[in-house]
Amino acid sequence: MQLNGIDQNVYLKLYPAIAANVLLIVFALMRRPYLKIYLLFFAITTLVDILVAGKIVPIADDNVRTAFEYVFVLIGDLRYIILLAYMLYAGRPLSDVARFRPGGDVLKPTLIFTLFPTLLVSAIAFAKPNLMTIGRHRFLAYELIFFVLTFLWMYVVLPQKPITEVAKNFLRRASLPVFGFYGLWATADMLILNGIEAGYALRILPNLLYYCGFLWWIAQISESKGER
C-alpha cells in the first residue's frame, strides 16, 4: 500500500478539521462555554488555516500562500502559548482567559515565546546549513524544539511559579495534547527521513489532534469547576 502523502488525504485531514471547527463555532455560539471568546477566536483562525492549506480558499501567489501558512503556524502555537502567558507568566486566573482581554503582562511573553521556536530554527539553519538541507529537517527541528519547550514549561518553570494548584493543574492538562502532536510529528518525521513510509500514516494522528482535538480538549477541561 502506498503511504507517501496519505497524511494529506482530504478525508483524513481536511474534512475532519473543517467539521470539528465548524461544530466548535456552533457549540460556542449556542452553548456559551466558559472560554467562549477564546474558543471562537481560535476555532475561526484554525478553520481559515485549514481552508488555506487545503486550497479551498485559493491564493494564486505562492509567496503570499507561504506567508499565510507561516502566520497560521504561529497562531496554531498561540492557542497554547497564550494560556501559558496568562496563567504561568502573568499569574492570572482562568477567568481572565475567559474575558480574553490581554494586557502587556500577557502580550509580552506571548510574543516572545510565539516567535522563539522559529527564530531558533533560523539560527540553527544559519549556523549549520548542512543540517537543514530539506524542508522536513526544519519541520523536525521545530517539532523537537517545541516539545522540549513544553517539557521545560511543565517540569521546570511551572513548579517554581507562585500560582495556584488549580492553575497548575489546568496547564498540565492543557499541555497533554501539545506533547501528543509534537511528539508524534517528530517521531513521524524521523521515520520519513529514514525512508520509512509508515511515518506518513503516523502523521495522521497528530494532524487530527492539532486541528480537531486541541480546542475541544481545552473547552472540556475549562468547564470543570475545579479548574477555575
Residue-by-residue DSSP string for 31-72:
H--TTHHHHHHHHHHHHHHHHHHTTSS----HHHHHHHHHHH
Interatomic CA distance for residues 124 and 68, integer angstroms: 23
pLDDT value of position 2: 82
User: What is the rounded average pLDDT of the residues 196-207?
Assistant: 96
Interatomic CA distance for residues 88 and 78, integer angstroms: 14
In tens, the pLDDT along 12-43 reads 999 999 999 999 999 999 999 999 999 999 99
Identify whether the C-beta of residue 211 lies closer than 8 Å to the C-beta of residue 17. yes
Q: Quick one: how far is CA 20 from the chain centroid? A: 15
In tens, the pLDDT along 132-167 reads 888 899 999 999 999 999 999 999 999 999 999 999
Domain boundaries defined on the chain: 7-223
Interatomic CA distance for residues 82 and 105, integer angstroms: 11
In tens, the pLDDT along 160-191 reads 999 999 999 999 999 999 999 999 999 999 99
One-letter-per-residue 3-state SS of 125-142:
HHHCHHHHCCHHHHHHHH
Q: Is the pLDDT of residue 68 over 90?
A: no
pLDDT value of position 116: 96
pLDDT value of position 63: 78
In tens, the pLDDT along 40-58 reads 999 999 999 999 888 888 7
Written as one string, the DSSP assignment of 78-109 is HHHHHHHIIIIIS---HHHHHHT---HHHHHH
Q: Quick one: how far is CA 49 from the chain centroid? A: 12
Identify whether the C-beta of residue 125 lies closer than 8 Å to the C-beta of residue 132. yes
Q: How confident is the model at residue 129 (pLDDT cuts 50, 70, 90)?
A: confident
